[in-house]
Amino acid sequence: MRVFQKITIGMLILSIGALVWYHFKGDTKMITISPEQYQYYAADDKKVGGISEAVLVEKNGKPSMRCAMKKGKYAWPYCELAIHLSDSVFEGIDLSSYSKLILDIDYKSADPNGRLRVYLRNSNPIYTKRNDEASLKFNGVEYEPGFNAGPKEIALSDFQVLTWWIADYKVPVEHTTPEFTNISIIEIATPSTVTNGDFEMTINSIELRGSWIRENTLLKIILYMWLVIIIGYVVHEQKRLSRSLKASAYREGRLRKLNDVLKEKNVEFAELAHRDSLTGARNRNAVRDWLDQMSQQVRWGKQTFSVIYIDIDYFKKINDKLGHQIGDDILREFVLVVASAIKNTDFLVRWGGEEFIVFCPNHNVQQAAEKAEHIRRTVEHHLWCHNESLTCSLGVAEMKDERISEVIARADDALYKAKNAGRNRVITSANIMGTNDSLRFRN
């Protein structure tokens, strides 16, 4: 979950950053049509029978076309400045990612309107013929440049395809719209209504400005990235829920089987007066007489006898967290686990709550401590019904010349020390000449 949170925050920052960048820097893509990079030519109407004259000169370091417009046999005299963007008029450059044409042209003319025609000529094998330069598509617009008026922006969306060209070349309807994918020539020409006079146009600069990426493309990329994150999150959650459901089903099955076994055992144990009704372990009544016999045997020196006092660590927290029903299940399972770690000659007794005592005949303190450590490890490594770890603390004492209540008290004191030392450990207590020594088993 934390990984997806980090990915989501990162994606949010990336999305906002991309949108901010696009707002301020997205349309900074630019190309300059300078005479140092591209060929500038002057052209007039002589090739179609006119008598106008155009010449290209340099004026203050800028290309300038001077035109003497004369009306002759040709009905629509013109002069134009042609800029070739490649060596072949049929192979140009893709300007479709640009949105504005920025022209800084100083224009002097005999025309009171002072307008110019601008054509972006596009080549496409569908309508362009190799031996006919006029078959290049006329994407055109007409505007008033002025003199010393500075740059003027013309949106490429304002360009239109000339209707006479569409009709003459019988262009399919799907190709009658402006197209800028293969522009080979830029033409700047005098207006079609001018007849006679002197004209001069000086090209200060020609630039095209556009976006590094289209807005709808950027938005689609961001949208798709969010969709990938959302789909990934959904798939991850489905897998996690599936694993959780399988684990829950497995635990439920184990608990059901365990409860069935424990119920059967409890039915049997409940019939016996000396069994604890919840766990099936022996109760205090079951060992009272037997303990008297053991203490007598020890006093007579006929055998050794040790006590292992056991307490489940943090059992109250388990009850508070999981409820008393789960706590009861754990107590039942604890009895089965401890019983599997001791011998048939040992006596496991539920002493009260989560406290148990294992009475070990014929065990000195060292042997009892080793058995206690075996119990501790068995409990620690067992897979419990609540699917969490469980540990216990153990105190060990060997009976000397004392009463049974005294040796149990010493084992309880050792248990108390084990808990204070950090729990999940075994501590032994030996009563030798009035002094207490402790032997500690570490994890």
Q: What Å distances lie between residue 430 and 300, 342, 437, CA to CA?
A: 19, 22, 6
pLDDT tier at 125 (50, 70, 90 boundaries)? very high
User: What digits encode the pLDDT tens for the residues 49-97?
Assistant: 889 999 999 999 999 999 998 888 888 899 999 999 998 888 899 999 8
pLDDT tier at 437 (50, 70, 90 boundaries)? very low
**Structure confidence at residue 436 (pLDDT):** 41
**Structure confidence at residue 12 (pLDDT):** 87
Q: Which residue has the higher pLDDT, 269 or 95?
A: 95
At the top level of CATH, the class of 272-441 is alpha beta
Distance CA 193, CA 278 (A): 111
pLDDT tier at 272 (50, 70, 90 boundaries)? low
Mean pLDDT of 314-336: 92
**Structure confidence at residue 51 (pLDDT):** 92
Length of the chain: 443
pTM over the 0.85 mark:
no
What residues contact 163, with CB distance under 8 A and at least 6 apart? none
Mean pLDDT of 168-185: 94
Distance CA 229, CA 238 (A): 14
pLDDT tier at 267 (50, 70, 90 boundaries)? low
**Structure confidence at residue 187 (pLDDT):** 96
Secondary structure (3-state) at 320: helix
Q: Which residue has the higher pLDDT, 9 or 158?
A: 158
Distance CA 93, CA 161 (A): 19
Q: Which residue has the higher pLDDT, 237 or 42?
A: 42
pLDDT at 346 over 80: yes
Q: What Å distances lie between residue 281 and 292, 333, 412, CA to CA?
A: 20, 11, 19
- Helix (H) and strand (E) counts for the chain? 8, 18
Whether the Cβ atoms of residue 140 and residue 101 lie closer than 8 Å to each other: no
pLDDT tier at 401 (50, 70, 90 boundaries)? confident
User: What digits encode the pLDDT tens for the residues 180-227?
Assistant: 999 999 999 998 877 788 999 999 999 999 888 877 888 889 898 889
pLDDT at 310 over 90: yes
Highest mean pLDDT among 11-20, 59-68, 216-225, 285-294: 59-68
CA dihedral 441, 415, 284, 288 (to 10 degrees): 80
The radius of gyration of the chain from alpha carbons, rounded to an integer in Å, stands at: 49
Q: Which of 2.40.128.260, 3.40.50.720, 2.60.120.430, 3.30.70.2190 would CATH assign to domain 28-212?
A: 2.60.120.430
Secondary structure (3-state) at 51: coil
Whether the Cβ atoms of residue 95 and residue 180 lie closer than 8 Å to each other: yes
pLDDT at 245 over 70: yes
Locate 367 and state its tokens. Answer: 């042997």
pLDDT tier at 438 (50, 70, 90 boundaries)? very low
**Equal fold, 28-212 vs 272-441:** no
Q: What is the DSSP letter of 134?
A: G
Q: What Å distances lie between residue 177 and 98, 138, 172, 204, 218, CA to CA?
A: 16, 10, 10, 30, 25
Lowest mean pLDDT among 18-32, 46-60, 334-348: 18-32
pLDDT at 30 over 70: yes
**Structure confidence at residue 358 (pLDDT):** 96
Q: What Å distances lie between residue 312 and 145, 190, 408, 420, 425, CA to CA?
A: 94, 101, 17, 14, 11
Distance CA 188, CA 152 (A): 14
**Structure confidence at residue 442 (pLDDT):** 38
Lowest mean pLDDT among 35-39, 278-282, 395-399, 418-422: 278-282
**Structure confidence at residue 339 (pLDDT):** 94
Q: So where are the chain's domains?
A: 28-212, 272-441
Mean pLDDT of the residues in the chain? 88
Q: What Å distances lie between residue 11 and 19, 163, 232, CA to CA?
A: 12, 49, 13
Whether the Cβ atoms of residue 70 and residue 199 lie closer than 8 Å to each other: no
Q: How many CB atoms lie within 10 A of CB 121?
A: 24
Mean pLDDT of 352-356: 91
Whether the Cβ atoms of residue 315 and residue 327 lie closer than 8 Å to each other: yes
Share of the chain above pLDDT 90, in %: 54
Q: Is the dihedral of CA 123, 129, 133, 134 positive or negative?
A: negative
**Structure confidence at residue 269 (pLDDT):** 55
Whether the Cβ atoms of residue 345 and residue 362 lie closer than 8 Å to each other: yes
pLDDT tier at 435 (50, 70, 90 boundaries)? very low
Distance CA 399, CA 411 (A): 10
**Structure confidence at residue 112 (pLDDT):** 67
Tell the burial category of 331 from Cβ atoms under 10 Å away from its Cβ (0-12, 13-18, 19+): buried
Q: Which residue has the higher pLDDT, 400 or 436?
A: 400
DSSP letters along 224-285, please?
HHHHHHHHHHHHHHHHHHHHHHHHHHHHHHHHHHHHHHHHHHHHHHHTSTTB-TTT--B-HH
